[in-house]
């Protein structure tokens, strides 16, 4: 394999070179959509039900080579790839992506998908921490995602069904080039009984939780907003409690990251925060979220998870307390916190982290 294309992000190229050296490889290949986007900035998706895209990007220490079929090559060259990228093609009726990658690749090589003769490549740790260009793209994605969720929440009525709201949300996000692999809407009755509120034909009635995990250019942003018409008396208290747990998780992430600790260390702080707000065992009813980036969750915090907390990185924690939920995507750096899914146009409350050292503004319940 030979190429003169330059990797778009110098920080990524350093990681790729290190990986080649560490594993004694001549080439590494990426065909899963989030990894392809991470490396090239382009989109290799046609069928969103497929785990592998229509093109694979390979790096050999000099630059990029992209393999795809003769159907996709013209579009990818024109719209998704750097001008200097080398593109190798195979006839759509006489070959496959995996076979062609195996044919053109220098050896030894590894890939993030099954290709004959190539080793397996796990890319999750390679995608962390975020680079400066990725953080800029994340800021735009976060603003657009939150704006869409909040705009839809301001238009809903008690008689709207969960599916109607989810459909409108997906449509609004689509106008910004954003996919929504997760769009959850739950009315007051179902929100008290379940944690993953997959939409139904039930009307939302007195209040609703609206949650989304949105994707653009390979990056994922998550947020939840609560809108209420005739809220139960306990909703405000539980919502504030969930926001306090979320603030504690965010504060703990920076603390643990500075100490080069693990996801399990963060989880310990989350458990303590649930106890502080008086809901000791509530964490058992739903996962608490974790690192975000080129996956909805790069890792999910659990008691024994040994993933290193990298900074700077995006994190999306989603604590729930029986009918209430607090969730945003937050950029955590060595110097502080930046709420990525923030518009400045939603009512807020002040949540103090469990350790008392950090106070964050969190979305409140929107009363309509």
pLDDT tens, 310-368? Answer: 999 999 999 999 999 999 999 999 999 999 999 999 999 999 998 778 999 999 999 99
| Judgement on whether residues 204 and 319 belong to the same structural domain of the protein | yes
* pLDDT for 6: 62
Count of domains for the chain: 2
- The reply to whether 183 and 314 lie within a common domain is yes
Shared domain for 150 and 95, answered yes or no, is no
For residue 63, the model assigns a pLDDT of: 85
Which pLDDT belongs to residue 7? 78
102 and 248 share a domain? no
**In a shared domain, residues 119 and 196:** no
Q: pLDDT at position 82, please?
A: 83
Instruction: Read off the pLDDT of residues 229-268 as tens digits, 9 standing for 90 and up.
Output: 999 999 999 999 999 999 999 999 999 999 999 999 999 9
Identify the pLDDT of residue 1.
56
Mean pLDDT computed over every residue of the chain: 96
Q: Is it the case that residue 176 has pLDDT exceeding 70?
A: yes
CA distance 315 to 344: 19
Q: For residue 4, tell me if it sits in a domain.
A: no
Whether 143 and 121 share a structural domain: no
Assess if residue 105 is contained within a domain: yes
Q: Give domain status of residue 308, yes or no.
A: yes
Do 27 and 159 share a domain, yes or no? no
Last residue of a domain, one of 98, 127, 156: 127
Judgement on whether residues 79 and 179 belong to the same structural domain of the protein: no
User: Which residue range(s) make up the domain with 57?
Assistant: 10-127
Domain annotation covers residue 252: yes
Specify whether 75 is located in the same domain as 138: no
pLDDT in the model for residue 8: 79
Q: Which of 76, 93, 127 is the last residue of a domain?
A: 127
- 52 occurs within a structural domain: yes
| Domain-located, residue 63 | yes
Domain termination site, one of 100, 127, 154: 127
For residue 4, the model assigns a pLDDT of: 43
Instruction: Report residue 215 as tokens.
Output: 């994707």
Contacts of residue 50, defined as CB under 8 A and 6 or more positions apart, other chains included, come to: none
> Quick check: 80 pLDDT over 60?
yes
- Is 161 part of a structural domain of the chain? yes
Q: How confident is the model at residue 146 (pLDDT cuts 50, 70, 90)?
A: very high
CATH number assigned to the domain comprising residue 42:
3.40.350.10
60 and 104 co-located in one domain: yes
179 & 270 share domain: yes
pLDDT above 70 covers what percent of the chain?
Answer: 98
Instruction: Judge if 123 and 144 occupy the same domain.
Output: no
For the stretch 44-62, pLDDT in tens is 999 999 999 999 999 999 8
User: Is residue 2 pLDDT above 70, yes or no?
Assistant: no
Exposure string for 199-222, b = 16+ CB within 10 A, e = fewer: beeebbeebbbbbbbbbbbbbbbb
**Which CATH number do you get for residue 356?**
3.90.230.10
Query: What number is the average pLDDT over the span 105-131?
Result: 96
The answer to whether position 3 is within a domain reads: no
């Amino acid at each position: 394999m030979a190429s003169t294309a330059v990797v778009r992000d110098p920080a990524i190229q350093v990681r790729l070179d290190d990986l080649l050296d560490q594993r004694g490889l001549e080439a590494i290949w990426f065909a899963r959509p989030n990894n392809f986007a991470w490396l090239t900035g382009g989109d290799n998706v046609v069928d969103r039900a497929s785990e592998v895209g229509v093109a694979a990007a390979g790096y050999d220490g000099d630059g990029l080579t992209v393999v795809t079929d003769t159907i996709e090559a013209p579009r990818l060259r024109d719209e998704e790839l750097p001008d200097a990228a080398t593109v190798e093609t195979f006839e759509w009726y006489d070959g496959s992506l995996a076979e062609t990658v195996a044919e053109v690749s220098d050896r030894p090589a590894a890939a993030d998908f099954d290709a004959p003769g190539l080793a397996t490549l796990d890319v999750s740790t390679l995608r962390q921490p975020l680079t400066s260009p990725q953080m800029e793209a994340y800021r735009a994605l976060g603003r657009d995602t939150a704006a869409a969720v909040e705009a839809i929440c301001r238009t809903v009525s008690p008689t709207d069904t969960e599916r109607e709201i989810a459909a409108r949300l997906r449509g609004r996000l689509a106008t910004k080039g954003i996919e929504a692999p997760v769009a959850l809407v739950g009315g007051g009755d179902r929100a008290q009984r379940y944690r993953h509120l997959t939409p139904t034909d039930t009307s939302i009635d007195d209040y609703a939780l609206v949650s989304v995990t949105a994707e653009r250019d390979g990056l994922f942003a998550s947020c939840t907003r609560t809108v209420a018409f005739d809220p139960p008396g306990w909703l405000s208290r539980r919502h504030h409690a969930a926001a306090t747990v979320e603030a504690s998780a965010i504060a703990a992430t920076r603390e643990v990251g500075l100490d080069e600790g693990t996801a399990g260390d963060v989880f310990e702080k989350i458990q303590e925060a649930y106890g502080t707000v008086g809901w000791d065992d509530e964490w058992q009813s739903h996962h608490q979220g974790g690192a975000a980036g080129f996956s909805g969750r790069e890792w999910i915090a659990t008691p024994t998870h040994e993933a290193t907390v990298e900074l700077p990185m995006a994190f999306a924690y989603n604590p729930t307390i029986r009918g209430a939920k607090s969730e945003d995507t937050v950029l955590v750096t060595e110097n502080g916190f930046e709420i990525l899914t923030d518009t400045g146009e939603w009512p807020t409350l002040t949540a103090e982290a469990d350790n008392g050292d950090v106070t964050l503004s969190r979305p409140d319940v929107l009363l309509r």
